[in-house]
Chains A and B, each alone.
Chain A
Amino acid sequence: MTRLLQTLLDGVAVGSLYALIALGYTMVYGILRFINFAHSDVFMLGAWVSWALAMALGYSGVGAEIPWFAPALVLVGSMAACGLLGFLIERLAYRRLRSAPRINVLITAIGVSLLIENTGQLPALFGTQPQRMPALVPDLNLATLAGVNLPLVDVLVIGVSVGLMLGLEFLVHRTRLGLAMRAVSYDTRTAALMGIPVDRVISFTFVVGSALAAAAGFLNAAKYPGLNQAAHPTWILLGLKAFVAAVVGGIGNLRGAMAGGLLIGLVELFGAAYLSPHLRDVYVFVLLIVVLLVRPEGLLGKAVKEKV
Chain B
Amino acid sequence: MRSASLFAGRRALISALAATLVLFSAGCGGGEKPAGGPEAGAPPKAADTIVIGEYGSMTGAEATFGQGTHEGVMLALEEINAAGGVLGKQVVVKDYDTQGKTQEAGTAVTRLITDDKVVAIVGEVASSLSIAGGRVAQQMGVPMVSPASTNPQVTQIGDMIFRVCFIDPFQGYVMATFAKDTLGSKKVAILYDQASAYSKGLKDDFVKAFTAGGGVISAEAAYTAGDQDYSAQLTTIRDGAPDAIFIPGYYTDVGNIAIQVKKLGINAKLLGGDGWDSPKLAEIGGTAIEGGYYSNHYAVEEARPEVAEFVKKYQARYGRVPDGMGALGYDATRLLVDAIGRAGSTDGKAIAKALAETKDFPGVTGSITIDAERNAQKSAVVLEMKGGKPVYVATVKPPGAADAAPPAAPVAAEGGAVPAPNAPAPTEAAPAKGAPPAGPGKAGKSGAP
Chain B min CB distance to A275 (Å): 9
- Would A226 and B231 count as touching, CB distance under 8 A? no
A229 to B99, CA, bound (A): 12
- Would A269 and B232 count as touching, CB distance under 8 A? yes
Residues in A neighbouring B229, C-beta threshold 8 A: 10, 14, 224, 269, 272
- Would B264 and A149 count as touching, CB distance under 8 A? yes
- Would A132 and B283 count as touching, CB distance under 8 A? yes
- Would A128 and B63 count as touching, CB distance under 8 A? yes
Number of inter-chain CB pairs below 8 Å: 88
- Residue from A132, A225, A232 in contact with B61 in the complex, judged by beta carbons closer than 8 Å: A232
Interface size range on B against A? 20 to 34
- Would A273 and B235 count as touching, CB distance under 8 A? yes
Residues in B neighbouring A128, C-beta threshold 8 A: 58-60, 63
Residues in B neighbouring A131, C-beta threshold 8 A: 283-284
Residues in A neighbouring B425, C-beta threshold 8 A: none
Nearest A residue to B239, CB-CB: A3
A128 to B97, CA, bound (A): 12
Chain A min CB distance to B229 (Å): 7
Among B363-416, those with CB < 8 Å from A are: 388
A190 at the interface (CB under 8 A from B): no
Residues in A neighbouring B63, C-beta threshold 8 A: 128-129
- Would B235 and A226 count as touching, CB distance under 8 A? no
Residues in A neighbouring B255, C-beta threshold 8 A: 132, 226
Residues in A neighbouring B231, C-beta threshold 8 A: 6-7, 10, 269, 272-273
A62 to B388, CA, bound (A): 10
Chain B min CB distance to A50 (Å): 15
- Would B228 and A273 count as touching, CB distance under 8 A? no
Residues in B neighbouring A129, C-beta threshold 8 A: 59-61, 63-64, 280
- Would B228 and A132 count as touching, CB distance under 8 A? no
- Would A7 and B232 count as touching, CB distance under 8 A? yes
B88 at the interface (CB under 8 A from A): no
Residues in A neighbouring B194, C-beta threshold 8 A: 278
Chain A min CB distance to B257 (Å): 9
- Would A130 and B61 count as touching, CB distance under 8 A? yes
Nearest A residue to B58, CB-CB: A128
- Would A7 and B235 count as touching, CB distance under 8 A? yes
A6 to B226, CA, bound (A): 22
- Residue from B232, B256, B265, B286 in contact with A272 in the complex, judged by beta carbons closer than 8 Å: B232
Q: When A and B form their complex, which 6 residue pairs have the shortest distance between CB atoms, in order from nearest? A: A272-B232, A128-B59, A226-B256, A277-B232, A224-B228, A273-B232
B-to-A contact residues, CB < 8 Å: 58-61, 63-64, 194, 221-224, 226-229, 231-233, 235-236, 239, 252-253, 255-256, 259, 263-265, 280, 283-284, 286, 388
Extra contacts besides A6-B264, A129-B64, A234-B226 (14): CB < 8 Å = A3-B235, A129-B61, A129-B63, A131-B283, A132-B255, A135-B286, A225-B259, A225-B284, A228-B226, A229-B59, A229-B60, A269-B229, A277-B232, A277-B236
- Can you give 28 contacting A-B residue pairs, CB < 8 Å? A2-B239, A3-B239, A6-B264, A7-B231, A7-B235, A10-B231, A62-B388, A121-B59, A128-B58, A131-B283, A151-B263, A220-B228, A224-B228, A226-B256, A226-B259, A228-B226, A229-B59, A229-B60, A229-B61, A232-B61, A232-B226, A269-B229, A269-B231, A273-B232, A277-B221, A277-B223, A278-B224, A280-B232
A-to-B contact residues, CB < 8 Å: 2-3, 6-7, 10, 14, 62, 121, 128-132, 135, 149, 151, 220, 224-226, 228-229, 232-234, 238, 269, 272-273, 277-278, 280
